[in-house]
Structure 1
C-alpha cells in the first residue's frame, strides 16, 4: 500500500500548480509552461474549448427563444437573482457563462453583488476588455494620502511587464502622453464616430485638462504574427463578445494564453476541480500542494507541486486561504497579519449623464464597435487646479455616442407598415458618460467564512460586508455634476444627470483580500506576490491589489502575474522556494 500511495503521489506531482484559468490563471499557465515547468491548471468549472464550446456565438437575434434573448422573470429570480443585477449579463445567449446563484449561495451582510463565471477561461470570456495601466501616481497614492498600506512596488517595476503583456494580448488604443494614464504598446485605435469627435473637440477646447480618447481595449485591430499563429484574427465589430469570440478578436484565456500553454506540451488542464485548501508541510515549512473536490464525482484528491499560484479571483482566493487552516495557520493560510479577506475594493459606478444630440442626422456608422470613448481622471492630480477638498482620489468616464437601432422600442405602441418604416430608420443621436470611481481600502470591508451555510457540495460559503463611505459618496456627486457640465458645454440637448445607485461588487472588479505590502504585520503578500509567511505560494489575481485606482484592473493582474512567474522560476532554480 505504501508503494501504491507513493506511486499515486508521484503521478499527481507537478512542477507548478495554478488555481483558476481566467485572466490571471491563463497568464500563469502560459508563463510557467513556456519556461519549462510541468504545470497543472485546476478549474472549478467545466471545460470550455475555444471555438467548440461557444454555443450561441453565431446565433442571430431571431434565433433566440425569447425576445432579444431576455430570460423570463421567474427564471432570473429563481436561478440568477444576483447575476441578473447587472441588467445585461445573463441572457438566453450568455447564461451558460455565469453561475446559477441558487447553486452558489453566499451571505450579504450589506448589499454585495458577486458576479461569477465558473468555467475554463473564467471571466476572461465575459470581461469588459477595457485595458489601462495603473500610473506612477496610483502606486504612490496610499503612501501619499496615509491610506491603507504602501504598495511594495512602483510603476517602474511593472512598466516592462505592461509592455510584455500588451504585445501578447493585443490592445488597441491611442497614446496621449498623460502621466496619470501611461501610454502602452498599442495596436491602431478604433475610430470615434462624428458625435464623439465633436465632443472631443468642444470639450478639450473648453477644459484643457480633460482629455477625450478612444477606449483602450483588448481587441485586435492589426494582429501580429504571434497572434495570427494562435488562430486569432481582427475584431469583426460584432459586439457579441460575451458569447465567446470564434475569431479570437478579443483576448481571452481560451483563445490565447491557454492555447500558448497547451502548445508547449507542459500543460495539464483539470476542469471540475474545486480547490478546497492548500496543503501545508509543517516540517518543510512550505506548501506541498492543494486538495480538491471533484464537482462531478464528489471525490477528494490531492495534487503536489513545488510552487502554487492562486488565481481564483479575489474572493475565491480568499475563500481557499481562509479555509486552509493548520497549526501553523489557525486563522487561514498566511494570515498572521489578520488582513486576509479584508480591504475589499471595487469601482463604484452607475452615475453620470446622457444627452440628445440634434446634429449629424445625416450621418451614421458601420459595424457594432465593441468599445467607447474614455475620459481619463482629471481630479486630484497633484496640482492646485485639479485639487478637490471634498474627497481624495478620482474617477474616469467611459461612454460614447450612438443611434438606437430597430430594436429600440419593440414593446412600444403601433404596428403595421408605418411602424416597420419607423423602426427601419435609426433613432436620434444620444451621448452618454458613465463614471468609474476609486474605492479606498477599508480594513473592515471584508469577507469571512460561514461554516453554518453550505453550498451544494457541502462546503462553507462566504459572507460579505462591504460598503462605500463618505469619500465615495462625495465623489459620486462630482461624477454626476461633471458629466452634466461636459455634455452641456458640448452643446447637446436635454442633458440629464443620474445616480442609479450602486452596491459593491457590481463593478465586477473585486480586489484587495490578500494585499501586497512591505510589512508582514500589515499585509499578506510581498513585492513579488509571494505569501510573506510561505514563499512558494504566489497570489496574482485581484486579491493582491493594495489600492484600486479608477481604471479597469485586469491589465495590472496580467502584468503582476507575468512578473511573479519570472520571479518564481528564478527562485526555483536557485532553490529559494
Structure 2
C-alpha cells in the first residue's frame, strides 16, 4: 500500500476544531460558532446537501432494482457489516460506510456490529430520533451499586441544557410526571391509534406502576425554527427535505454557517491529535485527505472530538507521544474500556381482533414507549435476578400489501385478499441497559489497517449474565402486558443480538472525578490535556436504558459554553 504523503499547509490556527459533523459534532459547531469562535469542522465522509442529495427520499419500490428490499451483491461486496443492522436497506445504503475500506476486527466468537454513517451529517440523517432525558436514577446508579465509577454530574447539572437543546431541536412528547423519565420542553404529542389507546388503558389498569406513552421524538408536529411539521410520509431514514426531523444538515450546521464562523471540510479522515509536550496542550490534528491520501495538519486552540464513540477512541489511541505512549489522555489506562450498547431484539407481539373497522392516518414516524419499571430504588420494583432496567418501544399497526409476499395464492384471489388491510398487531421491543465492564474494550489492531493506512480497532465485547437475565424478563413482561390487554396469539421472543447492533455504542473515554480512573471531567474535558473535549458517546460512564442522543446534545452544548468561558479566562 502506498504510504501517506505529508503535504505542508499554511499554519492557520482556528479557534476551534470539531471532528465529526453528526449529532454531537453539529451541536459543537453551532455553539462554538455562535459564541464567536472561528471553527473548522472535519468530516471523514463525503459532502452532501440537505434535500438535494436525498436521492431515494420518495422513490417507490418499483423504481428500485430490488424493490426496496436489498441489493445483496453490492451489500456483500462493500457493506457486509452494515447490512446486518435492521435500519439498513436498498434505499439508504449509500449513507452507510464502506466496510471493505473501513475494516475492524473482533474475537471470532464475540461478534460486534459497528454501524457508521459516511457523509456530512453522519448518522443524524438515518437515526431513529427517539429522544429521552436521563434522571438521577441513571446518574447515581454506579455509585449506588458500587459498579465502575460514579458519574461526576447529576440531573440538576444537565437539566438546563436538556431545556436548551429541546427548544432548538423540537421534541414531540407527552408530559407524564415520572421521576425515572423527566419531562421536557415538548411540542404537541403525536396521537396514538385505537389499539394503542386500548392497550395503554388495559396495561395501566392491570399494572399501576407502569405507564405507556407516545414516543418522545425529535420530529416536529408544528412548524418550528424555520422547519416544516411532519406530514407522515414515512421514509425518514432516506433523508427529510422539509427538515421535520432533526439532523445536523437541517438544523445545527445551517445555524453554524449563518454566523460566518464555520469552515466545513468533508473527506477529511482524522488520523490523530497533535500534542505539544512543551505546551502540554493539543495544538491540532493530522488529517488524511480521503481522495488524495495526502497527510495534512490543521491547528486549533481547542479541539472537540465528536467522531462517534469508537471513531473518537480510535483517534485517541492512535495519538501517541512520549508522554502518552498508549493514547492521548490515557494516563489512567481506561481509554478504550467500558464499552456499552443497548441490548434489544427481545419482547413480544400479539393480535388484537375487534378493531377491523378502524385504521390510522399516514405513516406516523414514531411509536409508543413504556418507561422503565424495574429496579426504581424501592422494594416493590426490585428484581431479584438483575440490576438496572429496560424500557419498551413499539406500536400497533395493520398489515399492508407487503404481506402478500408471504401469502399463498396468486392472481385475482390474491389481489382481492390484499385489498383490505391485515389484522391489527401490537409489538413491544425492549431496550435494556448494559453494565459498564472493564473487559468490554477496544484496542488498536497491531496488524490490520484501513484503506488509508490507519490502524483499525479490535473490539472485545459480550453481554454479561446480568443482561442475559434481564432479557428473559424483558420477553416475559412484554407477554404478560399484552395478555392483560386482551391480545391473542401472544408470542414472546428472544432473538439473537450482537453487541453494537443497537447502534447506541457508548463508553471507552468515560467521565469521572478522578484522573486516575477516568479520561474526562464533569465538563467532558480531558483531565490530562485540558484543551481537548470529548462529547460524543465515548464520554458515557454508564448506559441507562433510554436512547442516548438527547444526552449527547445536552452535554455537547454544555461543554462548548464551558470551553469558551475557559478560553476567555486564558485557562486553555
TM-score range, shorter chain: over 0.9
SS in 2 for 1:410: helix
Map 1:339-358 → 2, pairs under 5 A? 339-358=334-353
Aligned pairs (5 A) from 1:70-219: 70-86=69-85, 88-109=86-107, 110-219=110-219
CA contact (8 A) 2:386 2:466 kept: yes
Q: Does 1:461 align with 2:456?
A: yes
Which of the numbers 229, 235, 251 marks the counterpart of 1:234? 229
Q: State whether structure 2 residue 253 is matched by structure 1 residue 255.
A: no
The question of 1:567 aligning with 2:562 is answered: yes
**1:445 Cα deviation after fit:** 0.3
Q: Bigger CA drift: 50-59 or 529-538?
A: 50-59
| Counterparts of 2:385 and 2:70, CA distance in 1 | 42
Partner residue, 1:553: 548
**What residue is the counterpart of 2:3 in the other structure?**
none
Which secondary structure state, in structure 2, belongs to the residue aligned with residue 265 of structure 1? coil
Aligned 8 A contact 1:170 1:223 in 2: no
8 A contact 2:351–2:425 mirrored in 1: yes
Q: Contact 1:24–1:558 at 8 Å: present in 2 too?
A: yes
Aligned mates of 1:90, 1:527 — CA distance in 2: 35
Match for residue 275 of structure 1 among 270, 286, 298: 270
Alpha-carbon distance in structure 2 between the residues aligned to 1:287 and 1:462: 23
Q: Give the deviation of 1:222 after TM superposition.
A: 1.6
Secondary structure of the 1:426 match is coil
Q: Secondary structure of the equivalent of 1:319?
A: helix
Indicate if the aligned counterparts of 2:222 and 2:230 stay in contact, CA closer than 8 A.
Answer: no
Which position in structure 2 is the counterpart of 1:221?
221
Matched position secondary structure for 2:100:
helix
Q: Any residues of structure 2 matched to 1:392-407 within 5 Å, and which?
A: 392-407=387-402
TM-score of the two chains, using structure 2 as the length reference? 0.97
SS of the equivalent of 2:401 reads: coil
Question: What is the CA-CA distance between 1:451 and the residue it aligns to?
Answer: 2.9
Q: Specify whether residues 113 and 380 from structure 1 end up closer, same or farther in structure 2 by C-alpha distance, changes over 3 A only.
A: same
SS in 1 for 2:447: strand
Is the 2:71–2:90 contact (alpha carbons within 8 Å) kept by the matching residues of 1? no
The residue aligned with 1:17 is: 17
- 1:239-274 Cα deviation digits (max 9, x unpaired): 211111001010000000001001111000000000
Q: Distance in 2 between matches of 1:122 and 1:520?
A: 31
Give the TM-score normalised by structure 1: 0.96
Q: 2:405 aligns with which of 407, 410, 424?
A: 410
Aligned position for 1:442: 437
Deviations 1:119-154 (A, max 9, x none): 100000011100000111110110001011000000
Is the contact made by 1:9 and 1:304 (CA closer than 8 Å) also made in structure 2?
no
- Can you list the C-alpha shifts for 1:307-361, whole angstroms capped at 9, x where unaligned? 0000001100000000000011111000001111100000000000000111201
Q: Unaligned stretches of 5+ in structure 1?
A: none
* Contact 2:392/2:430 (8 A) holds in 1: yes
Q: Whole-Å Cα distance in 1 between the matches of residues 211 and 261 of structure 2?
A: 45
1:526 matched to 2:529? The reply is no
- Report the Cα offset of residue 411 of structure 1: 4.8
CA contact (8 A) 1:354 1:430 kept: yes
- Conserved 8 A contact 1:148-1:442: yes
Whole-Å Cα distance in 1 between the matches of residues 344 and 405 of structure 2? 28
Spell out, residue by residue over 1:463-487, the C-alpha distance to the aligned partner (whole angstroms, 9 max, x if none).
0000110110110110000001000
Q: 2:288 aligns to what?
A: 293
Matched positions, count: 564
Equivalent residues of 2:312, 2:538 under 8 A apart = yes
Matches within 5 A, 1:368-407: 368-407=363-402
Deviations 1:388-429 (A, max 9, x none): 111110000000100011112225332222211211210000
Per-residue deviation, 1:103? 1.7
Maintained 8 Å contact 1:172/1:187: yes
1:45 is aligned to 45
Report the Cα distance in structure 1 between the residues aligned to 2:48 and 2:55, rounded to whole angstroms: 10
- SS of the aligned residue for 2:402 comes to coil
CA distance in 1 between counterparts of 2:29 and 2:72 reads 39
Q: Distance between the aligned counterparts of 2:22 and 2:76, measured in 1?
A: 27
- Please state if 1:480 is matched with 2:475: yes
Runs of 4+ in structure 1 over 6 Å off: none
Q: How big is the shift at 1:8?
A: 4.3
The answer as to whether partners of 1:83 and 1:89 remain within 8 angstroms in 2 is: no
Aligned equivalents of 2:378, 2:293: Cα separation in 1: 58
Q: What is residue 246 of structure 1 aligned with on the other side? A: 241
Cα separation, 1, equivalents of 2:220 and 2:25: 21
State the alpha-carbon separation in 1 of the partners of residues 32 and 411 from structure 2: 61
1:314 to 309, 326, 334: 309
Partner Cα distance (2:120, 2:408) in 1: 44
CA RMSD across the alignment: 1.2
